[in-house]
Structure 1
């Protein structure tokens, strides 16, 4: 299958290319485990690795659109390095744990008081292997950053034993494979095995370093991202691309089950992104109190006003080349690839049961 131009730009943006203040999801330290009085392992630190779905500001301000208006429109009211109008999945999982959202690795020297909550090493645009943009920041490299901090005694074995790791793997490796012309979608079958095997290597490495619980996201339905559905006026997903996602997720599930069968205490688990995304696209309510349907779930809130222009683009005179919907709270997608804060909030609600099961 030929990769469409909309998908090309969708992924380069998705998963492309911090805030020194370390924006976080909840200063109040909300913790579901305390709310429900459940006893068990309660991580006090969160270490994050992956791409733009979990990046909270690891690029310098001139390197990424995530530091440009209108990103951060909903929260904190200005760009904060997140690829959304507000909070992303990292912030909500930190909220679940009752800790502040971990500071981006790039800004650690400006946020020494936040290191107790863990650290975010995710960079938008990366994969488990090297991708087009940026090079050299794959997940192995990101984990190496944590190892260096351990070697430098920034974090101790005790810190890791009281921590959880979040890994987001959301499609950049497959995009890179297709765009480099290494093969077609039909050729991805053996490549999915290679990707998932590398995910396994990364997860085992983190656990061997001392991280108590290691989670990884399943892939979202990339064939339904706005960059791919734009040609159908945001009505039709690309089933061929989604079939690759389902193959990846199937292999991922088997891999995690195998790792847990080989390891005491089942430290590995999957955070399913695929199911809540699909549920929302089918205009069904998610399992949360007061949940409502998103009005047009495949259509992004922030769109370019001219072909070839994306959210955050301006012309040579500084005139905006994008438009924002009237209410981001009723839009699931923010731009060509990333959910809004409201979208991530809805997805997070569906992940709570999994987090409870494996942590508490």
Structure 2
């Protein structure tokens, strides 16, 4: 998008020049609600944002009015729900709770004075190597992607409602789901097992980055990471993300208007 990476919240006091490029409140593994990761959930992250504005006074209302907020929730709420309950039973009743809270959080950001808010749709979790390994990385898990689509439909409805209530178009959806599916289809036509991750554990019990007691690597790497969409069981490669976001250029440009 032609902007510098925003400084993380933790390093906000390292210099005024850095904060002018924005601030990143995200924490790996967290979600809309609390997950197994001991880190602030989305509501708490917004409270930190409010503190930066009202207590630390690092940003003015004019700054907020000319800013873009990017909200990305990667599905950790659903992974935590499934692991905590031992199955996906009841997940369809849980999804509306997640989306409703997400919508409240989006409104909180808007109420602070941010005029443009982009929220990413949920990526096709059923295509993650974690889900496709049972099919030898040959096909996406359709059941999991149906759950993701339910989330994304509710998110679309929630965003439409927010735009109607605010009498504008402050809220935008970045269709990350379609970006991944388009990338998988495109790269799948040009190469072999595109759902296979670049980094793999060599045997059961080992994963990407594992070493044994002697420090010997217990994982293998593909020869060309730029040809892979996924790095490990759950994370895309940098090349994968570049390909996904190339499909979002039109919607990203809309955010500048």
Corresponding residue to 2:209 among 302, 306, 312: 312
The correspondence of residues 165-314 of structure 1 with structure 2, limited to 5 A, is 165-181=69-85, 184-283=87-186, 293=190, 295-314=192-211
Q: Distance in 2 between matches of 1:209 and 1:294?
A: 47
Query: Are 1:358 and 2:225 matched, yes or no?
Result: no
CA deviation digits over 1:20-66, x for unaligned, max 9? xxxxxxxxxxxxxxxxxxxxxxxxxxxxxxxxxxxxxxxxxxxxxxx
Corresponding residue to 1:129 among 7, 25, 33: 33
SS in 1 for 2:155: helix
Q: Distance in 1 between matches of 2:73 and 2:191?
A: 25
SS in 1 for 2:117: strand
CA deviation digits over 1:112-139, x for unaligned, max 9? 43110101111111110000123x4100
SS in 1 for 2:46: helix
Cα displacement (A) at 1:236: 2.3
Query: Are 1:138 and 2:35 matched, yes or no?
Result: no
User: 2:21 matched to which residue of 1?
Assistant: 117
Report if aligned partners of 1:280, 1:293 keep a CA contact under 8 Å in 2: no
Cα displacement (A) at 1:357: 2.1
> Relative to 1, partners in 2 of residues 1:284 and 1:342: Cα closer, same or farther, differing over 3 Å?
closer
> Relative to 1, partners in 2 of residues 1:108 and 1:319: Cα closer, same or farther, differing over 3 Å?
farther
Q: Distance in 2 between matches of 1:111 and 1:342?
A: 32
CA deviation digits over 1:170-226, x for unaligned, max 9? 211111111111x74352222111110011011000010011111111111111100
SS in 1 for 2:118: strand
Cα displacement (A) at 1:110: 3.9
Q: Distance in 1 between matches of 2:72 and 2:148?
A: 14
Q: TM-score under structure 1 normalisation?
A: 0.68
Report if aligned partners of 2:187, 2:194 keep a CA contact under 8 Å in 1: no
Report if aligned partners of 1:297, 1:331 keep a CA contact under 8 Å in 2: yes
Report if aligned partners of 1:185, 1:244 keep a CA contact under 8 Å in 2: no
Report if aligned partners of 1:295, 1:330 keep a CA contact under 8 Å in 2: no
Q: TM-score under structure 2 normalisation?
A: 0.93
Query: Are 1:163 and 2:78 matched, yes or no?
Result: no
Unpaired segments of 5 or more residues in structure 1?
Answer: 1-95, 286-291
Cα displacement (A) at 1:104: 1.6
Misfit runs of 4+, over 4 Å:
292-295
Unpaired segments of 5 or more residues in structure 2?
Answer: none
SS in 2 for 1:99: coil
Structural RMSD (CA): 1.8
Report if aligned partners of 2:198, 2:228 keep a CA contact under 8 Å in 1: yes
User: 1:149 matched to which residue of 2?
Assistant: 52
Cα displacement (A) at 1:264: 3.0
SS in 2 for 1:326: coil
Cα displacement (A) at 1:141: 0.9
Report if aligned partners of 2:129, 2:197 keep a CA contact under 8 Å in 1: yes
Q: Distance in 2 between matches of 1:304 and 1:112?
A: 43
> Relative to 1, partners in 2 of residues 1:294 and 1:268: Cα closer, same or farther, differing over 3 Å?
farther
Q: Which has the higher helix share?
A: 2
Q: Distance in 2 between matches of 1:113 and 1:294?
A: 45
